[in-house]
Structure 1
Amino acid sequence: MDTEDMVLPLDPAGRTIQGSTQIWIDLDPDERYPFGGAFPWPPTNWDQDSQAGSPATDLPQQRAPLISAILQHRKPKLRTSPSSRAQLARPMIPLHRRLPSLACLAILTTFAAVVSAQSPTSRALATATVTTTVTATPTGAPPTCVPQYDCSSSPKGCLNNGLCEGKTCKCKPGFGGTDCALLSCGSPLTDPSQRPTVASGTGCSTCDDGFGGVNCNVCQTDAGCRSKPPSRTSFLGAEDMVCNKKPEVYFNAFMSCAVRTPELEGFFPGNYSLTVDLDPINKTMSAQLWLNKAEQFFCKMPECTLATTETDGIIKTKWDCPVLQCTCIEPTLLCGGIPGPVITLGPTINGLKGPFSLTCPHGSTDCDFFIGDLAGFFPTGLKMTECDMGECVFPSEIQSEITSVQKTMPPGVIACLAILGALVLILIVICSIAKRNQVVLSRTPYTLNTEAASLEFRNVGYTLNKDGLEVLKGISGAAPAGVVLAVMGPSGAGKSTLVDILAGKRKDGKVTGHILLNGKQVHESEIRRAVGFVDQEDTLPPTQTVYEAVLFSAMLRLPEAMPIFRVHERVAEVIEMLGLTHCSHRRIGNVTVRGISGGEKRRVSIALELITRPPILILDEPTSGLDSYSAHMVVEQLCKLAASKTTTVIMTIHQPRSDIFFMFDQTLVVSKGQALYFGPTDTAAEYFHRRGLECPKNYNIADYLLDIAMDQELVAKAKSFAGTDDEKTGLSTGHQTHVPGNIVSRRATTNGTHHGNPSDITHTSDNGQYETTVPMEESGSSGSSGSSTVSLPEVITAQKSQKTVYPTSFLTQLRVIMKRNWQTLIRDKSLLVLHLAVSIVLGLFIGGLYFAVPMDLGGFQNRAGSLFFMLALLGFSSISALGAFTETRTLFIKERSNGYYPPMPFVISTLLFDLIPLRIIPSLFMGCIAYFMIGLSPVVETFFKFLLILVLFNVATAMFCLVIAAAVRTTGVASLACSIVMLFMMLFGGFMINSGKIPDALTWIQYLSMFKYGFEALAVNEVATSKLIDNIQGVAFNVPGSLILQKLFGFDLGGFWKNMIVLIGFNVLFIAAFWAIVSLRLKERK
């Protein structure tokens, strides 16, 4: 390559050299002006800045330093642009013929420079010595190669954050050249080696269609992104690129903005712009600052984080980078390369360390560019306006992340996890305390009851609250220790109500009177602990054997410290005593499963209460429904028990045969809530004979007493004799029995005879014998007794706040109940097997129905339909919780009333054995099968979120059904209520109606629907991350799943975790409601 130097005249007022030739001036750095670079000549907008022939000193301030440098202090080199060089080269003149002309031109130029130097006052024609490199390639001469740039050995390396790979620079998009100092035009879709390059300071004159910006990196239209084949492929296959102009960045975005900073423009006037390269995948950013299209410096920001926040309704996307690395490009105006203001920013820019932030509000073209190290110069940051951002991405990439902020856990989720952790910690503390209580109880000395107790009742009355009906009217009596008291009367006479009150059972009406235990007034809880109560109906666990049922009662009601072998000995003893040894290992059964006989069930019910050796045993109709032989056997066992002096027996009996009747020690005959007779059983006939009611011969005296109680005329006739014989002589039963001294009457007369006081139902004779006398008129009405009527709780309560004390610990109660529930679940496999089988079959059915749904419009409908259908199946299958709980509800009420355990262990055990095997496991089975058959998202995180939503939803619906089952006693009503509520929740679940189109008056209903939160969470988790590609009538389209979710369903794309939290809230709410209803409502009320 041949070169030659020449001196050309430079006229500040002129704009051409040799006609219209445009030249470039290369300035070499020296000690005074340590910068270099290439500048066009004549300067830009010369016509506006100077007049022809005006001196350089008269030019505007921004031009003067440049011209002064050229004319006075520098030896610039002159080079032409390609077009100008072509003009200078035409016609092609051989080198030997052009040398004289060039020499003459150099002499003239040198002479003009000397004249100018000698006449400093005259600068009309200024000349400068310039060295022009003219390239001439003779015909047929081979070109000379320029040495290749080696970035590994060059101090400056690769500019603009390019990567040095070996000896060659790999430039970032938008930059080119051997050292990445040039601008690349065209578009980023073009191969980097094919992009045209221009020098910094000119900018790209043209970009490919659909692209813009300083270096043509910013896409403008989707068509521009589709103009050339993409350099990468989509995971969905054939997919066209689109231009994403939003602040959310998905692959690699570029931004070009104008910078408005008065602080900077005051020192360095001009047009500023900033280009930014955003790479969220590698979490990096790079930026370049431009002044009049000339790059001033570039920066690199690694380890950046992206977050989207909302403040005062304004959504902003913010990039935060803790590290900042900037490099000033010399010579540039900001870096001190060209004479100008005294201030130089080069050292400051090179020393920047960060932090750095870029904030762009959505829907705005303004952004804020803030550098912490420059806060002193720019306290408000660099204001960026007219921002143009764009990136060519696949639609699937846009939808693969709803927003980058969701990669970090929302604050609500963090709060929930913190609460969950706190609950777990509290649970651990509670379990530790429970374990400690268990240890304490296991070391507490214990004793079992060995003596019977007496029970006395005076003027017991009971009135219903609703209609004020008086059921009991001042009934009095006593059961001395070790006797058998039979309460007889026709149906509706008030027998069951009386024994309920004597046993301390809770009644809905008003109870009045006095009850004394061993002659003392005690709290009703004391009475309940002393009394074993056998209800009229046998409420037994059908899946347990006789031995297991009795052992269950023993494990919960015998002392914690009692050794386990002693417990089993006591169980065997009771079973043998009641004649149940032959059937001890047979299941009890129920109406659907054959088990033991009715008489054996009655004896099992008695065994459950005898296991604790209660001082008093009260039985309501123990022979009801039994044949005569079984009834005789039951009563005989009870009489033997009373004869052992360890238990006092009080029972109601409807119509005993004669041999059973005479087994009773005492009898109380009740009619219409009044006592007709109370005394020894063998004197009842004589008592009514004295009143003109003689029992016919060969007639069962028990039947005759019932005839009297049922016939009001006979009752009236018997009453007509009252007050005649008794007023004169009194009625003495003639039956005397030794009783403990603590049940003697507190109102005995001095001579041992009865004087008609209605409260004096017992007294002792002089020889210490116990006698009873009950005139008819005394027990006829509580109002005529003359004694004050006192509410029973007020009489027997010594400490109103006294709570029931259980002999076993919480952990023991929970363990025993869970063991029984497990036995029930295993032995009655129908419910468990049905749930599992149905879940598997339905999973296969749904998977087959929606098998491998494509990513098209029809596929979207099928995906959404499959998700909603699964929720519907799980929701309605939860109604089975009603029947399961109804079977255990009655058993729980009976066991709670008899002091087996409190509500809490029952609630926990019920939830564990209903939710885990019947709700959670079937949900997982169906979800796992259907998920992969349908072809839902293969992302592992999405799959586990899907399962979690199904489990939370199914548990919530099951808990809702349990709440209804606990609140509503009738199974049919509860089932109807659950079905109707489920249907309404489905209607407002978001699939059948757009949530945004619901009338305002009914909008609130959707927020009560568990289907809404479950379906929205499933849809956002699955469909929002997909792209629907379809072709309708030859028209291809790409529709984001998120767009359909928003427009068609009105879903919140960022509401996944919100819906999860709401479902968790539903679960917590229903569990708390279930526990509250069980504790407060499921009590025995009679």
Structure 2
Amino acid sequence: MALSLANDLSPSNAFPAYFAGRPDQCPPCFNCLLPAFQCKQFAPCNEYNGACDCPPGFGGNDCIEPTCGSLADGKNRHVRKGKDCDCSDGWSGLNCNVCETDEACNPLMPEQLNGTCYKGGLVVHQNFQMCDVTNRKIVDQLKDKKPQVTFSCKADDRTCNFQFWVDRVESFYCALDDCEFSQNIQFDSNSTDYKCKDIKCSCIPDRMLCGEDGSIDISDFLSEEIKGPGSFSCSSKTKSCTFEEPAMNELISDVFGDKSIQLDCNASECLHYTEIPGFQRPAKPSNAGLIAGSVAGAAILLGLLALILWLTARRSQQTDKLGAIRLTDDESAQLLANHTPATLQFRKVCYEVNGKGILQDVRGNVGPGQVLAILGASGAGKTSFLDILARKNKRGKATGEFLVNGRSVEDHKYKDVVGFVDQEDALMPTLTVYETVLYSALLRLPRDMTAEAKRLRVYETLEELGILHIKDSLIGQEGNRGISGGEKRRVSIACELVTSPSILFLDEPTSGLDSFNAFNVAECLTNLARGYNRTIIMTIHQPRSNIVALFDQLILLARGRVVYSGELSACQTHFESIGLACPTGYNIADYLIDLTMNTTGASQIVSPQDSSTPINNEPGTSVHNGEPHSLERCNSVGNESNAWGEVRPRQRISRATQQRDLFGGSTDLNDLFKRYNDSGVAASIDERIKESIDEASDRPVEMASPLGRGYARIGWFAQFVLLSKRTFKNLYRNPMLLLTHYAIAVLLALLCGYLYFRISNDLSGFQGRLGLFFFILSLFGFSTLTSLNLLVMERTIFMRERANGYYAPITYFMAKVMFDIIPLRVLPPIIMGLIIYPTVGLVPEGAVFARFLLILVLFNVASASVCLLIGITVKEPSIANLVGSLFMLFSLLFAGLLLNHDSIPGPVRFLQKLSIFHYAYEALLVNEVTYLTLTEKKFGLSIDVPGATILSTFGFNAQAFSADLLGLTVYFGVFLTLSFAAMHFLLVEKR
């Protein structure tokens, strides 16, 4: 009946038209869609082509033939010929499904990843096991026919399949469904358990145990009795496995006396090593202790810094209680010990700029104990003449004969014994009045003079100028008010007076002062001249009559030429002799200036007998007050003025009328110049100069130096110490800049620590590192631009102090570098690094952390050296900021994040070598990532990618750390050297 049914369902009967004309001897075509054909191994039938989808290791039309080669061959495996299978290298088993080496698994991995032959037994995706049956009775019963089992499971489908082989020929197979897979790990053994609820088995007809001649047939038993549940268990301790199923166990027990089928199995599965059961990537260690320690370290560092600043500020406020402010006789003698009184004489002084004459044929003489005043209207050449006498560095060409005590003196010797007070004040706003003058004294007074004596000299100077009561007041600046403008002027004078120079030049020292303080300043200068036998030369604009009375010598300039030069006492007589007598009640200084202002080339000199003509002046011209004195005032005009020579308001209109009448007919300057050159006053100056030259030539050789030996000032190291103290004091007294740098470092470090907390070691973590390092470098790079404004503000101070011989440029430069770079450029990156590094979770190694801090510090100081050069070479603050910002942006462009190294066009690739950001950025990444293993989620796998590979992908060189450090060091050294060279050669006062 079964045979008849089979014939009825054969393909030729079901599809007669399709098989028409087919020879009868041809076997029917296999089609698993037809009941006559079945897929073995319970393989599914493809409904589209009628072929069986055989499990791995089986082939043929009905999946009954084992295949050879390896799993890596996929569907290209060939079926076994005979009883032996030729497996590929690294593969074994009856159907070559069991891997033996890791290399054998490599072809099964994606994109050339390395595979691992996992033999732990627990299924991950699909594993295969080759087992020998070890039941003694079964082995004995079969004799030389070796019983074996192949077993495989798929985790996703929760299915397994079981094949029983005798003498390498499959006898029956089973399919297990609804399976659970587990692993029990103990300290001395591991075990795996596969438990399946449903089992179905089937015999292969005419095979051993399934109807083969001479063997039993268990076909009905397998198909009817075996239902499940079943289990497959292996133990590493006993190195054996068991296959159990209730009906099967009963059969084994009844026939062979064993509880179950006993097996010795070799399990394998090709995996990426990250998929191996039990593999767990080491979690990043908790950085709680390191974070706490680093934050505490940063807090301690900030606390120590605050304590140092507080102690320094407190110490600077503790001034000595000196009592009476007077120098002792011994100290006064010491101050004057090496002093030689200086007579300054000059003649034929000329000065021109770009071919234009500014001064012409100026002569004069002033001796020790005398005060020479240079008068003239605006533009007369007073300041230019004073600069030439002081031997300032002028832009034009100056000629003439300059003598000190009858001899010519070299510039460097001359500048050692002169002082110069400029018209505009250049003082450090963060110093007190006392400190400002003290630093001048400490830097410029004799080296062998005691510090106590120098301080006493400072107090005496402050008292002489009437500013002792404000000695502890800050100088101040715009936006941070300090002392008044007039007080600043007196501080500038005090800085020069404190050294008590042989010759002191002052450019309008009384400007900005009220009449009382102006007289005090002038009187102090006179006392200095006469009490200390000094020579004082000043320009002055419209002095009061009581100040004019203090002058000994007078030079009156008009359009760069001399109208008068000589003793003040002979001035009135000279002008009376040429018919220009000073009117009654008129300040002679105002009269002389007005005289030079009201001149033409066509008018004639007024004759002496016409000098009583009523005088007048231009409306609005002020009449200065003054104490009565025979030199500085003309005779009083009855009751028109009070005892001080002050014109009463009701008489101003009358005085204006007199002034207008006086200069109604203007004088001729050429006649004034000629009358002076032909006068006896001019001849007496020439005679005194000749006498001084003759006296100097008669002196012995050992006494030939016109200024004596002078005195030695403090050395470079002492200058450096003093300037360092001043620079540091200026820094901490400008707290907003200092505090802002530290506050930004702390706050942004905490913010970055929060945003990047415990950064992962995967590609997103690498991206985070790229952004973090880029942000840190950008922060410190642009923060160095704050140095530009400081340098621009101190430019004038440095040039003035250098011109006045305060110190050598190298000492100022080194102090600036040490006490600007260390507090502002070294400590902030260290503080920020202490907080960021542990909170972000960067590589927890001491050496890597130290290199991280080194890179940040080196980058910051190198950037600061660039800004130092820009601040020195670019005078305008706005332009300096623009240049600095453009430099930083250029460096950022070529850092390596915005432009890949390999994508930069060849002709401009060298520009990356000019980027300071590139060196630091690459060094930070190489230091952090080179030996770091990053994971990438791909193909469902956590693929490990060496950090060096990622770096090369982004265009960075994993071997460039040392070269990058060297680049930063060279950057710092080169720009620091260029900065000093620029300061030395460019920041030179040219007037």
Same fold (TM over 0.5): yes
Q: CA–CA distance in 2 between the matches of 1:747 and 1:685? A: 31
Which residue among 101, 106, 111 is the counterpart of 1:221? 106
Q: CA–CA distance in 2 between the matches of 1:649 and 1:627? A: 21
Which residue among 835, 841, 854 is the counterpart of 2:760? 854
Name whichever structure is richer in helix by fraction: 2
Q: CA–CA distance in 1 between the matches of 2:733 and 2:690? A: 50
1:829 is displaced (CA, Å) by: 1.5
- Residue number in structure 1 paired with 2:789: 883
The TM-score normalised by the length of structure 2 is 0.58
Structure 1 SS opposite 2:718: helix
- Residue number in structure 2 paired with 1:635: 522
- Residue number in structure 2 paired with 1:707: 594
State yes or no: 1:472 paired with 2:359.
Answer: yes
1:733 is displaced (CA, Å) by: 5.0
**Contact between 1:483 and 1:649, CA under 8 Å: does it hold in 2?**
yes
1:880 is displaced (CA, Å) by: 0.5
- Residue number in structure 2 paired with 1:454: 343
State yes or no: 1:538 paired with 2:434.
Answer: no
Look up the equivalent residue of 1:744 and give its one-letter code. E
1:1062 is displaced (CA, Å) by: 0.6
1:726 is displaced (CA, Å) by: 7.2
Q: CA–CA distance in 1 between the matches of 2:847 and 2:107? A: 32
- For 1:624-682, what per-residue CA distance to the aligned partner results, in whole angstroms no more than 9, with x for missing partners? 12222221211111112222252111000122122222321121111222222212224
1:532 is displaced (CA, Å) by: 1.1
**Contact between 1:806 and 1:901, CA under 8 Å: does it hold in 2?**
no
Q: CA–CA distance in 1 between the matches of 2:494 and 2:672? A: 42
**Correspondence list, 1:268-279, <5 A:** none
Structure 1 SS opposite 2:600: helix
1:588 is displaced (CA, Å) by: 2.4
Shift of the 546–945 alpha-carbon distance from structure 1 to 2, 3 Å rule, reads same
- Residue number in structure 2 paired with 1:1082: 987
1:740 is displaced (CA, Å) by: 13
**Contact between 1:488 and 1:669, CA under 8 Å: does it hold in 2?**
yes
Q: CA–CA distance in 2 between the matches of 1:555 and 1:869? A: 45
**Contact between 1:481 and 1:740, CA under 8 Å: does it hold in 2?**
no
**Contact between 1:523 and 1:798, CA under 8 Å: does it hold in 2?**
no
**Contact between 2:728 and 2:820, CA under 8 Å: does it hold in 1?**
no
- Residue number in structure 1 paired with 2:415: 528
Shift of the 639–1032 alpha-carbon distance from structure 1 to 2, 3 Å rule, reads same
Q: CA–CA distance in 1 between the matches of 2:534 and 2:670? A: 38
Look up the equivalent residue of 2:837 and give its one-letter code. Y
Look up the equivalent residue of 1:207 and give its one-letter code. G
Structure 1 SS opposite 2:342: coil
- For 1:8-38, what per-residue CA distance to the aligned partner results, in whole angstroms no more than 9, with x for missing partners? xxxxxxxxxxxxxxxxxxxxxxxxxxxxxxx
- Residue number in structure 2 paired with 1:669: 556
Structure 1 SS opposite 2:117: coil
Q: CA–CA distance in 2 between the matches of 1:724 and 1:571? A: 47
Structure 1 SS opposite 2:951: helix
Shift of the 645–935 alpha-carbon distance from structure 1 to 2, 3 Å rule, reads closer
- For 1:740-762, what per-residue CA distance to the aligned partner results, in whole angstroms no more than 9, with x for missing partners? 988735599xxxxxxxxxxxxx9
Look up the equivalent residue of 2:586 and give its one-letter code. Y
Which residue among 942, 961, 967 is the counterpart of 1:1056? 961
State yes or no: 1:562 paired with 2:467.
Answer: no
**Contact between 1:669 and 1:677, CA under 8 Å: does it hold in 2?**
yes
Look up the equivalent residue of 2:990 and give its one-letter code. R
Shift of the 621–230 alpha-carbon distance from structure 1 to 2, 3 Å rule, reads farther
- For 1:973-1018, what per-residue CA distance to the aligned partner results, in whole angstroms no more than 9, with x for missing partners? 1111101111111111111011221122322221111011111111
- Residue number in structure 1 paired with 2:921: 1015
- Residue number in structure 2 paired with 1:260: none
State yes or no: 1:1073 paired with 2:978.
Answer: yes
Q: CA–CA distance in 1 between the matches of 2:975 and 2:91? A: 62
- Residue number in structure 2 paired with 1:196: none
1:223 is displaced (CA, Å) by: 5.0
Look up the equivalent residue of 1:679 and give its one-letter code. G
**Residue segments in structure 1 that go unaligned for 5+ positions in a row:** 1-203, 232-237, 239-391, 401-444, 749-761, 763-796
Shift of the 661–992 alpha-carbon distance from structure 1 to 2, 3 Å rule, reads same
Shift of the 719–746 alpha-carbon distance from structure 1 to 2, 3 Å rule, reads farther
1:932 is displaced (CA, Å) by: 2.3
Q: CA–CA distance in 1 between the matches of 2:103 and 2:856? A: 44
- Residue number in structure 2 paired with 1:845: 751
Shift of the 742–699 alpha-carbon distance from structure 1 to 2, 3 Å rule, reads closer
Q: CA–CA distance in 1 between the matches of 2:595 and 2:849? A: 77
1:486 is displaced (CA, Å) by: 0.6
1:620 is displaced (CA, Å) by: 0.7
Look up the equivalent residue of 2:415 and give its one-letter code. R
- For 1:163-183, what per-residue CA distance to the aligned partner results, in whole angstroms no more than 9, with x for missing partners? xxxxxxxxxxxxxxxxxxxxx
State yes or no: 1:953 paired with 2:859.
Answer: yes
State yes or no: 1:619 paired with 2:516.
Answer: no
Shift of the 712–1039 alpha-carbon distance from structure 1 to 2, 3 Å rule, reads farther
**Contact between 2:596 and 2:669, CA under 8 Å: does it hold in 1?**
no
- Identity, in percent, stands at 40
Residues paired across the two proteins, number: 624
Structure 1 SS opposite 2:957: coil
- Residue number in structure 2 paired with 1:962: 868
**Contact between 1:693 and 1:718, CA under 8 Å: does it hold in 2?**
no
1:694 is displaced (CA, Å) by: 4.6
Q: CA–CA distance in 1 between the matches of 2:951 and 2:856? A: 20
- For 1:495-519, what per-residue CA distance to the aligned partner results, in whole angstroms no more than 9, with x for missing partners? 1111112112112222211111111
- Residue number in structure 2 paired with 1:985: 891
**Contact between 1:806 and 1:899, CA under 8 Å: does it hold in 2?**
no
State yes or no: 1:823 paired with 2:771.
Answer: no
Q: CA–CA distance in 2 between the matches of 1:1062 and 1:595? A: 45
**Contact between 1:480 and 1:743, CA under 8 Å: does it hold in 2?**
no
**Contact between 2:345 and 2:406, CA under 8 Å: does it hold in 1?**
yes
- Residue number in structure 1 paired with 2:256: none
1:947 is displaced (CA, Å) by: 1.0
Q: CA–CA distance in 2 between the matches of 1:946 and 1:219? A: 43
Q: CA–CA distance in 1 between the matches of 2:786 and 2:469? A: 36
1:463 is displaced (CA, Å) by: 2.2
1:1025 is displaced (CA, Å) by: 2.8
State yes or no: 1:926 paired with 2:832.
Answer: yes
- Residue number in structure 2 paired with 1:1028: 934
The TM-score normalised by the length of structure 1 is 0.53
Q: CA–CA distance in 2 between the matches of 1:570 and 1:599? A: 22
Runs of 4+ in 1 over 6 A off after TM superposition: 215-220, 392-395, 723-727, 734-737, 739-743
Q: CA–CA distance in 1 between the matches of 2:478 and 2:927? A: 48
- For 1:48-78, what per-residue CA distance to the aligned partner results, in whole angstroms no more than 9, with x for missing partners? xxxxxxxxxxxxxxxxxxxxxxxxxxxxxxx
Q: CA–CA distance in 2 between the matches of 1:941 and 1:855? A: 19
**Contact between 2:923 and 2:965, CA under 8 Å: does it hold in 1?**
yes
1:732 is displaced (CA, Å) by: 3.6
1:951 is displaced (CA, Å) by: 0.7
Look up the equivalent residue of 1:453 and give its one-letter code. A
- Residue number in structure 2 paired with 1:135: none
Q: CA–CA distance in 1 between the matches of 2:597 and 2:673? A: 22
Look up the equivalent residue of 1:461 and give its one-letter code. C
1:1079 is displaced (CA, Å) by: 1.6
**Correspondence list, 1:319-468, <5 A:** 448-450=337-339, 452-464=341-353, 467-468=354-355
Shift of the 514–725 alpha-carbon distance from structure 1 to 2, 3 Å rule, reads closer
Shift of the 996–805 alpha-carbon distance from structure 1 to 2, 3 Å rule, reads farther
**Residue segments in structure 2 that go unaligned for 5+ positions in a row:** 1-86, 125-271, 283-333, 604-666, 697-703
Shift of the 992–736 alpha-carbon distance from structure 1 to 2, 3 Å rule, reads same
1:910 is displaced (CA, Å) by: 0.6
Q: Which shifted more, 697-706 or 1074-1083?
A: 697-706
Look up the equivalent residue of 2:525 and give its one-letter code. L
1:930 is displaced (CA, Å) by: 2.1
Shift of the 229–689 alpha-carbon distance from structure 1 to 2, 3 Å rule, reads farther
Q: CA–CA distance in 2 between the matches of 1:837 and 1:984? A: 27
